[in-house]
Amino acid sequence: MKISRITTENGINLVHYYLPSTNSVTASFLFNVGSTKELRTQRGMSHFFEHMVFNGSKKYPDQEKSNTLLEQYGIIQNAWTFKNCTNYWMKSPLDHFKLALDVLIDRAFYPLLNTSSVEKEKSIITEEYHMAKDSPHSIVSREFTKALFTNSLKYSVLGKPSSFQKFTKTGLGSFHKKHYNLENSILWIGGNITLKKTLKLLQPYRLPKGRKTVVTRTSLRKKRKNIAIFKEMPSNTYHAVLGFSGSSIHDSRDQEILSLISYILGIGRGSLLYKSLKGTNSLVSYLEVDYISFREGSIFGIYINSEQKKLIKITTVIREALERIISGKLPSQELERARNLLLSNYLSLQEVSHLFGYSPDLFNMTRRELLTGEKLDYHKKIELLRSIALPDIENTLKEVLRKGRLGISLVGKSDSALKEMSKIFFSLPK
């Protein structure tokens, strides 16, 4: 895989990666705007705007026609809003990439904002909001973020109907003008297309330059009390997240180490928690360890699903696994397994043109550059990953636990186990 990072003559910040084995090309425009950048009256606006982008643009005014134009060639289109970036992407078969790129750029920079579309999206997003409120997994995850952060990270990306029902086309227009420009974005093109051909395709575009957002390093606030949150839901099972807040996306070494720790703990059937929660015991039906970093801090969460009577035992097992790492008792084989699996995932991802999602891959590297200004260097990342040793794992986790905040979020019928869970988890030695 060959990666190039350049700014084109017409000012587009481009990340290009050439993957000759793929059948497609993906273009992904990342904008430095998300829920953490919203004012009180704008809660949910980044996400709302993301929906508006699909309602027609200057060159492609008819929404239905432009969708048909793309989908008649099998082009896949979608967008996601995160806490601090918004990502619009199209994945296209090789022959139709020029069209996909043109629609993507026109939609992101020249969307048509009309009142009837704004009203339509209010109804649709209300249903998206209801869908999230009915999902225990989504609730437990949102509450966990609220438990860990008091800063802007605690706000949900979707916002609330009481907030987004008030949005107008004028407000959305100002929001777009402020955040959607070349200085605030990175275009990411990958797949079976050469850099030369990519540059030729991009050459005709004259896009708004805008003002560069000053990248400031936001340190975590003074450590606050650990928090446990319970939400009652008439679910059959209990959904819980246990975890901690960590350092911000600026600390690239920490990011790699914490990604590796997520593999050591819970990614793969050979991971510490999989072995003890599902292998030797049958304590959980679901286990996921997720690590995601932002400018304002990061979230390390262990997501589980089980019965009420097993929650305390599960908490003890999770605590023991973390203790094992910070006490220097982790066998080197655990690190090797995690590292090999992570590197193997990188290889698999090079067989497809789009590497989206939260996994520690190229997408996250691009996001880091957008948020921190740190230039993307894939080879350095791999080198760093290969150089991580057991003491690095031990010391980083110790440091993160010492500075960060522990949190538990629980969803189910009763909170009777929460007190004991908190007692066990929050007394984790640091």
How far out from the chain centre does Cα 97 lie? Answer: 26
C-alpha triplet 277, 263, 152: angle, nearest 5°: 100
Closest-CA residue to 291 (of 265, 320, 269, 317): 265
115 binds another protein (CB under 8 A): no
46 binds another protein (CB under 8 A): no
CB 127, min distance to another protein, A: 4
Candidate residues 178, 231, 278, 324; the one interacting with another protein per rule CB under 8 A: 278
Q: Distance between CA 1 and CA 246 in Å, rounded? A: 31
Candidate residues 54, 60, 294, 300; the one interacting with another protein per rule CB under 8 A: 54
Q: Of the ranges 5-13, 170-178, 195-203, 274-282, which one interacts with another protein (CB under 8 A)?
A: 274-282
Nearer to another protein, 282 or 427 (CB): 282
281 binds another protein (CB under 8 A): yes
**Are the beta carbons of 10 and 203 closer than 8 angstroms?**
yes
- Where in 295-314 is the site for another protein (CB under 8 A)? 305-307
End-to-end alpha-carbon separation of the chain, Å?
41
> Considering CB under 8 A, how many residues would be counted as binding another protein?
70
How far out from the chain centre does Cα 63 lie? Answer: 28
Token pair recorded at residue 340: 């090999």
CB 70, min distance to another protein, A: 8
68 binds another protein (CB under 8 A): yes
Strand 227-232's sheet: what is its strand order? 227-232, 406-412, 238-246, 297-306, 286-294
Q: Please tell me whether residue 13 adopts helix, strand or coil conformation.
A: strand
Candidate residues 7, 73, 253, 373; the one interacting with another protein per rule CB under 8 A: 73
Candidate residues 33, 75, 104, 264; the one interacting with another protein per rule CB under 8 A: 75
268 binds another protein (CB under 8 A): yes
91 binds another protein (CB under 8 A): yes
CB 79, min distance to another protein, A: 12
Candidate residues 9, 123, 309, 391; the one interacting with another protein per rule CB under 8 A: 123
169 binds another protein (CB under 8 A): no
Give me the residue label for tokens 């993507």: 104
Candidate residues 94, 194, 224, 380; the one interacting with another protein per rule CB under 8 A: 94
Q: Distance between CA 268 and CA 282 in Å, rounded? A: 16
360 binds another protein (CB under 8 A): no
Quick one: CA torsion of 381, 387, 393, 395, rounded to 10 degrees?
-100
- Where in 124-163 is the site for another protein (CB under 8 A)? 124-128, 130-131, 133-137
- DSSP class of residue 139 equals H
H helical segments located in 180-310: 195-202, 252-266, 272-274
CB 280, min distance to another protein, A: 7
Q: Distance between CA 430 and CA 413 in Å, rounded? A: 32
357 binds another protein (CB under 8 A): no
- Where in 226-245 is the site for another protein (CB under 8 A)? 234-237, 239
H helical segments located in 40-168: 45-52, 63-71, 97-109, 115-133, 136-148, 161-164
62 binds another protein (CB under 8 A): no
Q: Of the ranges 87-95, 166-174, 215-223, 319-327, which one interacts with another protein (CB under 8 A)?
A: 87-95
- In whole angstroms, how far apart are CA 421 and each of 138, 144, 222, 306, 406? 21, 15, 24, 14, 12
How far out from the chain centre does Cα 85 lie? Answer: 9
96 binds another protein (CB under 8 A): yes
- Where in 367-406 is the site for another protein (CB under 8 A)? none
194 binds another protein (CB under 8 A): no
253 binds another protein (CB under 8 A): no
Site residues, another protein (CB under 8 A): 20-24, 54, 63-64, 67-68, 71-77, 91-94, 96, 120, 123-128, 130-131, 133-137, 234-237, 239, 268-270, 274-275, 278-282, 284-286, 305-307, 333, 336-337, 340-341, 343-344, 347-348, 350-353
